[in-house]
Amino acid sequence: MDIVYIRDLRVDTIIGIFDWEREVRQTVSLDLEMASDIRRAAETDDIQYALNYKAVAKRLIAFIEQSEFLLVERLAEEVASIVRNEFNVPWLKLRLSKPGALRGAYDVGLIIERGVKP
């Protein structure tokens, strides 16, 4: 299994359960590892056979900027669903964090894995 990854993709969105969080955009950060067989892309040097990380990032940025979830858990599940279904990714690992959300901590968040490792 090969991994295509995006690290520290930062997007501003409405996220949180407190009243002030429903009014102020906060930054979320994503680290995403996606299973992809890169051999054909490597052999042909052709983007059509690669997992296009720019297309993935653009889709996630657009989605997250428009979203207004209460919980990072829900946002993580939605992101995982988009990547798996729209980009034909059989397995992914997602780290989603809210930098500065907890005083005294750099960030808080969660890590999920979805799908079956090929």
User: Which of 54, 58, 93, 98 is the catalytic position?
Assistant: 98
CA distance 4 to 19: 37
pLDDT of residue 117: 83
pLDDT of residue 73: 97
The domains located in the chain, with CATH, are: 3-115 (3.30.1130.10)
pLDDT over 80 (residue 110): yes
Decide if 35 contacts 1 (C-beta within 8 A): yes
**Residue 117 falls in the annotated catalytic set:** no
pTM of the shown model: 0.94
pLDDT digits (tens, 9 = 90+) for 44-97: 999 999 999 999 999 999 999 999 999 999 999 999 999 999 999 999 999 999
